[in-house]
Structure 1
Amino acid sequence: MAELHAIPETSAPDPTRWRMLAVIAVAQLMIILDGSIVNVALPHIQEALSISDANRQWVVTAYTLAFGGLLLLGGRIADYWGRKRTFIVGLLGFAAASALGGLAPAEGFMFAARGLQGMFAALLAPAALSLVTVAFTEPHERAKAFGVFGALSGGGAAIGLILGGLLTDGPGWRWVMWVNVPIALVTAVLAVGIVRESRSDGHPSYDIPGALLATSGLLALVYGFTRVSEADAGWADPLAIGCLSAAAVLIVAFVAVERRVANPLLPLRIPAHPIRGGSYLTFLLVGAGLFAMFLFLSYYMQGVLGYSALRTGLHFLPFSLGIILAAGLVARVLPVTGPRPLMVGGLAVAGTGMLMLLRITPQDQYWTHVLPSLVMISVGMAFVFIPTSSTALIGVQPRDAGVASALLNTTQQVGGSVGLALLSTLALASTTRSVEEIGTVERTMPDGSVAQVPGPESLVAGFHTGFLWGAVLLYLGMLSALLLVRIRKADYHANVQDTESAPAVG
């Protein structure tokens, strides 16, 4: 994606650019919706497909791993193969994978379908953003275009929460997958006639070994954490140790390959810059702490408090609204304070909000225990997302702008995948220990049978562990911002002029 800004600012504007933006925005909205819509439906998916507690996170992780692990390669394919072509293929593939997910008869089928969704999203997302970058060559128009993407990221998540609840409580959780099919197909048809093709000059170069090593390493890491929660031996399980060891070897091999290939998937000069590297590390830790929060709260509301899927979605809305409202304040304050104080303060507030979730009990105390935490976390995240998106591009040369912005989303998705696996493992271990102390309760299953399952107190004990370690990850992100993102306000203003129009993926 290094050539995204190769078209000079003085080139004639594309006369169809606003119609193109409308089509591309629909695809972006679909990707955003897919994240929040599945979170609300996850307890129903787990029950319908008899997914174990240890494996339920794979419904989310299979998607985020494929998406984050292949995103940089997807951007490179879009640049050389053709952005319009890649965009349409991504839409059609996403529709097919969504249809398969809705038909899933068992957990393995669902995990595979979610992985396919992530693969095609890794084609779709960078193609969409590079199309906008190429179409909007005037800086102010480009800023407006990417402002649309920012609004979709916040508003789309809120819409997904409500839509996920309506579909799950109405026609059923399978429609959470199937709803993507008509959206993607109609968008693909419109794109054929409206979107103009563009591609980069030069000989195509794809770092396939790098992509395989990175994705395999992350897959081994996540599976290793999952295996710990499944095996009787826990962290001493030979397969878990083998997977975690293999992950370390594969990730080291990935770095070695990237240092030697002529056109690496990830030019190491990008994260090697201390300010940019600190920004990526911060986003990685934020993703690791934040993704698990949604999982645990969704199960708490539906599995412990007995909320419907729709009620759960509505009770998550303050989080999305908090980010949307706080983003306007951050945009005004950022030029005055610079990025670092906002990032450090935002993560301190978000981490404290996460710790406050340790107060939850099996009793319904949403308004006094959950809502204040959601508001604090959302406001804190708004103070992190916007400054970090800027500092991640500080000093980036035009040829690296695309891959640098894509890497920001990659780190969040990868962090979410790894954090979800690790925190789920730790939470499940706490639930197991609690069950050993206080026992189980009887529950009537959908097929009429009676099973022994963890009681509300044991479930909440596990959620407490997840929230605690989620807060630790956010505080580590705060330290990353404090120690590594060492940029003065004057230097920030001097550098941001060169990178303010670069897109941020996702």
Structure 2
Amino acid sequence: MSRALPPASTDTPAVDCSEAARRWTLVAAILGSGMAFVDGTIVNVALPAIQHAMQATTAGAQWVMESYALLLSALLLVGGVLGDRFGRRRVFALGALVFTVSSLGCAAAPGIGWLVVARGLQGLGAALLVPGSLSLITSAYPKERRGRAIGTWSAFSGVTAAIGPVLGGFLVEHLSWHWAFLINLPLGLALIAICRWQVPESRGARAGGIDVAGALLATLGLSGVVYALIEAPQQGWLSPGVGIAAALGVSASIAFAVVERRIAAPMLPLGLFRDRTFAGANLLTLLLYAALGGSLFFVPLNLIQVQGYGATGAGASLLPFIVIMFVLSRWTGQLVDRVGARLPLVVGPAMAAGGFALYAVPGVGGSYWTTFFPAAAVLGLGMSITIAPLTTTVMNALEPGLAGTASGVNNAVSRVAGLIAIAAFGVVLTQGFDARLQAGLHGLSLPHEVVQSIVDQKARLAGIELPHGAEVARGIVDHAFVAGFRRVMLLSAALALLSSLVAGFMIRDPQR
């Protein structure tokens, strides 16, 4: 549910181009951002099939998501600067090419390591696509027509968000997981052709410097922290690899903060956080999007591997969440004008916390309408109340000339939150799973070698393949996963409540 990066300035003059070129530019922006956003949801639904086909651990499945999010998060702000300096169409088309070629690499991956690397390259391509989408619209449409064009882009983004998980589930269930990536090939080739022959070129009037040091340090810092969190449950917290990665991640993160304070054109202007409302809005984003991104990563695993849903059903399970957000977005956008931003930013996250808590209620089995539907609906309502006021708060916190930078920073914060949370929540779920699994196996009369076979596979969590004669242990494995899943959802509820408190203490409505 992350928000796309807006153009650097709404006062940018439009390039001289035909009406047909403007329409094709809008199509290209919708197609490019849609590919980048939907790919995450499609792959999320495909992960159980990928894990089974490649005999991968849950850590391996996490890396399939994290390598994409890592490069996208670390390079998102740099991608916008590259477009302003070297040409928005050129950089956008390069992003489409990288994304398309790496999608083919993902589909052809013979093993989990190959897939993780190809997914990282997809993230690199997405980092060039996402900030360029609205910059292209801004450069093609005059100021008085941009609002309508951006509204069209936003509406289609909502439609693709709703279709993505269901389409991904259908492809995985009726064809194979490879099609979750192959579907990008015709879309990517069409996008490249549109950019080449229909989209006008433009550049930023005041393109900033390229913060190479900041980009490298951000990538190293995030990589080290994420590696330590994902690999610690298997290797142990005191293992050399985990310790070195953690030290590298923390050191690079500290160095990143130092560099960003000293250079003239930082990718993350830390001085912006001196504004209390801006800092509060981003802290709220960090907490709430950590809860959202970290928890929803595990929902398809629960539905498919434990509850017995098909991939299509698992993808469709979040439709209430998306539909409610789509339907209420216009109404919630007017809330700020009526009551200010602070009240919705207190109520919305608190309601989202109730949705996360409802996800912790179901056990194994039961009707969707009485188990996961209430959770998805309440979570969707809470996020609907939150997103528009949060975006408005971020955009209004600073002077208009910094609106693009402010929103870009907030977008990056939301993505980093999900990136770190998926890794951290994996630790929480694994601890709950291991404790419940050991207790459950202890109460069964199974041969030692069968028990050992199950324990040796515990890194796969609910994806454990039971040896012949041990089918009785399936219930133990499923309930162990649910025990860990409940811990994750309750932690998400706590983070959402904390974000509500942050809004209450730090967000201030301007005098009207």
TM-score, length-scaled by structure 2 = 0.89
- 1:199 aligns to 2:203 (yes or no): yes
Report 1:78-477 matches (<5 A).
78-139=83-144, 141-201=145-205, 205-231=209-235, 233=236, 235-439=237-441, 455-477=477-499
Aligned to 2:39: 34
Cα offset, 1:138, TM superposition: 2.0
Cα distance per residue 1:115-161 (max 9 Å; x no partner):
1111110011111111112222324x222222223223322121011
Which of 61, 65, 69 pairs up with 1:64? 69
Determine helix, strand or coil for the equivalent of 2:318: helix
Distance 1:472 1:382, change over 3 A: same
CA–CA distance in 2 between the matches of 1:138 and 1:436? 63
Distance 1:226 1:203, change over 3 A: closer
Cα offset, 1:333, TM superposition: 2.3
- 1:480 aligns to 2:505 (yes or no): no
Deviates more, 1:322-331 or 1:391-400: 391-400
Q: 1:41–1:165: 8 Å Cα contact kept in structure 2? A: yes
Cα distance per residue 1:339-398 (max 9 Å; x no partner):
111111000000011112221101224211211111010111111111111111224345
CA–CA distance in 2 between the matches of 1:76 and 1:360? 46
Distance 1:398 1:137, change over 3 A: farther
Determine helix, strand or coil for the equivalent of 1:401: helix
Q: 1:3–1:398: 8 Å Cα contact kept in structure 2? A: no
Percentage of matched positions with identical amino acids: 31
Distance 1:372 1:322, change over 3 A: same
Q: 1:339–1:489: 8 Å Cα contact kept in structure 2? A: no
Aligned to 2:448: none
Deviates more, 1:262-271 or 1:6-15: 6-15
Cα offset, 1:10, TM superposition: 8.9
The letter for the 2-side match of 1:207 is: D
CA–CA distance in 2 between the matches of 1:264 and 1:360? 46
CA–CA distance in 2 between the matches of 1:85 and 1:309? 37
Aligned to 2:24: 19
CA–CA distance in 1 between the matches of 2:159 and 2:389? 19
Q: 2:350–2:497: 8 Å Cα contact kept in structure 1? A: yes
Distance 1:2 1:397, change over 3 A: farther
CA–CA distance in 2 between the matches of 1:343 and 1:191? 39
Determine helix, strand or coil for the equivalent of 2:58: coil
CA–CA distance in 1 between the matches of 2:504 and 2:125? 36
CA–CA distance in 1 between the matches of 2:428 and 2:80? 35
Distance 1:445 1:327, change over 3 A: closer
CA–CA distance in 2 between the matches of 1:154 and 1:3? 19
CA–CA distance in 2 between the matches of 1:61 and 1:280? 21
Cα offset, 1:274, TM superposition: 1.6
Cα offset, 1:269, TM superposition: 2.5
Cα offset, 1:245, TM superposition: 3.3
CA–CA distance in 2 between the matches of 1:447 and 1:332? 51
CA–CA distance in 1 between the matches of 2:432 and 2:421? 16
Cα distance per residue 1:247-269 (max 9 Å; x no partner):
22211211110111111111222
Q: 1:5–1:134: 8 Å Cα contact kept in structure 2? A: no
CA–CA distance in 2 between the matches of 1:448 and 1:382? 42
Report 1:489-504 matches (<5 A).
490=512
Q: 1:14–1:136: 8 Å Cα contact kept in structure 2? A: no
Distance 1:115 1:148, change over 3 A: same
Distance 1:203 1:360, change over 3 A: closer
Deviates more, 1:117-126 or 1:307-316: 307-316
**What is the total number of aligned residue pairs between the two structures?**
487
Q: 2:6–2:408: 8 Å Cα contact kept in structure 1? A: no
Determine helix, strand or coil for the equivalent of 2:61: coil
Determine helix, strand or coil for the equivalent of 1:360: coil
Deviates more, 1:200-209 or 1:268-277: 200-209
Q: 1:50–1:106: 8 Å Cα contact kept in structure 2? A: no
CA–CA distance in 2 between the matches of 1:488 and 1:9? 30
Cα offset, 1:183, TM superposition: 0.1
The letter for the 2-side match of 1:150 is: S
Distance 1:346 1:399, change over 3 A: same
The letter for the 2-side match of 1:486 is: R
Q: Which runs of 5+ in 2 are unaligned?
A: 442-450
CA–CA distance in 2 between the matches of 1:298 and 1:31? 20
Cα offset, 1:447, TM superposition: 10
The letter for the 2-side match of 1:163 is: L
Distance 1:230 1:22, change over 3 A: same
Determine helix, strand or coil for the equivalent of 2:59: coil
CA–CA distance in 2 between the matches of 1:447 and 1:355? 30
CA–CA distance in 1 between the matches of 2:55 and 2:43? 17
CA–CA distance in 2 between the matches of 1:414 and 1:368? 33
Q: 1:69–1:215: 8 Å Cα contact kept in structure 2? A: yes
Aligned to 2:8: 4
Distance 1:368 1:192, change over 3 A: same
Report 1:38-57 matches (<5 A).
38-57=43-62
Cα offset, 1:415, TM superposition: 0.3
Q: Which runs of 5+ in 1 are unaligned?
A: 491-506
Cα offset, 1:334, TM superposition: 2.4
Cα offset, 1:222, TM superposition: 0.9
Deviates more, 1:202-211 or 1:91-100: 202-211
Aligned to 1:494: none
TM-score, length-scaled by structure 1 = 0.90
Q: 2:335–2:341: 8 Å Cα contact kept in structure 1? A: no
Cα offset, 1:7, TM superposition: 5.1
Cα offset, 1:449, TM superposition: 6.7
